[in-house]
Amino acid sequence: MSRHARASEKVVIALGGNALVPPEGQGDVREQLRSIRGSAQQIAKIISEGAQVVLTHGNGPQVGHLLLQQEEARRWAPPQPLDVCVAMTQGQIGYLLQQALQSALRERGLSPPVVTVVTQVLVDPRDPAFEEPTKPIGPFYSEEEAEELRRTKGYALKRVGNGERPYRRVVASPRPLGIVEEDGIRELVEAGCVVIACGGGGVPVMRTDGCLRGVEAVVDKDLASERLATALRADTLLILTDVERVALRYDTPEQVDLERLTAEEARRYLEAGEFPPGSMGPKVEAAVRFVENGGKRAVIASLTQAVQALEGRAGTTIVR
């Protein structure tokens, strides 16, 4: 058994997009399965060493493809709103992860139930993100198509590229307040299940007159993972991505890889703008918030080094 993944340690593992779709691939199911099977082997090893594991995951490529499919088929079938698309991809990715993880666990002589929970994440209708949508989603549009969508559907669209179709729809990315299915997920974990939850950051919902309703928005997967890990009183939040460590002055000749940080140091670097909001920023913020909210440690590491990261031999560890 590894030094850190000891029996009964509760670990929330947030899988980045590279765990689900190879960067050079087209994202078809066969490619996804190959990537997911590799991830499942790492996770199965962690479970075999005694850790209680809850998985979260991104859905960017999958929800993007689904929106493209709906755009092409809109003459024959009504398109679904974004919150429904997020729920659909939670089921899609959860199914593939369940199957791969069940097989990887069976190879190790283990058979815990692996369960996907379609998860709703509560957001604040007054969140400033709704005033200025910034998250690009779906296909590219020409100027004429963008104007038509603004007029007929009220979409916010921004020019994000060049060429004949430079516009994309942008939506809000509000901060997650809490996990609606928190109690159910906790009961499943306590019953010995491996739970897959908060896919794609969860389905963003608002509470209106005591009822929940979906919102056309996207919640950051890492920030939602922190909310779940904190709610479950997890020991460790492990955020897996496509770089080996958090770094200062990333991708410059002066790059400095960071092995260990306190939450205070990490927040200071974050506020100084060392970690861009579109990439490492949310991961570091999620790690810092988790530790500040009572978690023992957060680790940001490469997907291929998940086991070593939990053992303290890879990645960047953030502690109190």
Q: pLDDT tens digits for 93-123?
A: 999 999 999 999 999 999 999 999 999 999 9
Nearest to 27 by CA among 56, 70, 60: 60
Distances (CA, A) of 83 to 120, 171, 205: 10, 11, 8
Tell me which of 16, 17, 138, 295 is the catalytic residue.
17
303 pLDDT higher than 70: yes
Residue 221 known to be catalytic: yes
Tell me which of 27, 64, 135, 178 is the catalytic residue.
135
Q: Any idea what DSSP says for residue 53?
A: E
Q: What is the pLDDT of residue 23?
A: 64
Rounded CA-CA distance 80/265 in Å is 43
Rounded CA-CA distance 300/259 in Å is 10
Rounded CA-CA distance 265/94 in Å is 35
What's the one-letter identity of residue 307?
V
Rounded CA-CA distance 137/122 in Å is 21
In the three-class reduction of DSSP (H, G, I as helix; E, B as strand; rest coil), residue 297 is classed as strand
Res. 2 pLDDT band, cuts 50 70 90 = very low
Tell me which of 45, 138, 200, 221 is the catalytic residue.
221
Which domains are present in the chain? 10-126+177-319 (3.40.1160.10), 133-171 (no CATH)
Rounded CA-CA distance 241/262 in Å is 20
Percentage of the chain beyond pLDDT 70 is: 95
Tokens at residue 37, please?
Answer: 């099977």
153 pLDDT higher than 90: no
Tokens at residue 320, please?
Answer: 């109190």
Tell me which of 58, 60, 283, 315 is the catalytic residue.
283
Burial class (CB in 10 A: 0-12, 13-18, 19+), 111: exposed
6 pLDDT higher than 60: no
Q: What is the pLDDT of residue 18?
A: 61
The CA-based angle 167-173-178, given to 5 degrees, is 160
Residue 27 known to be catalytic: no
Q: In what order do the strands lie in the sheet with 203-208?
A: 178-179, 120-122, 203-208, 211-214
Tell me which of 18, 201, 202, 315 is the catalytic residue.
18
The sign of the dihedral angle between the CA atoms of 154, 156, 159, 163 is negative
Tokens at residue 74, please?
Answer: 């809109």
Q: What is the pLDDT of residue 35?
A: 84
Q: What is the pLDDT of residue 15?
A: 94
Q: What is the pLDDT of residue 311?
A: 92
Number of H helices, E strands in the chain: 9, 17
Mean pLDDT, rounded, for 274-303: 93
Distances (CA, A) of 21 to 29, 65, 122: 9, 12, 27
278 pLDDT higher than 80: no
Least confident of 17-26, 177-186, 232-241: 17-26
Mean pLDDT, rounded, for 140-166: 86
Residue 10 known to be catalytic: no
CB 299 within 8 A of CB 309: yes
Q: Which pTM value belongs to this model?
A: 0.91
Res. 29 pLDDT band, cuts 50 70 90 = confident
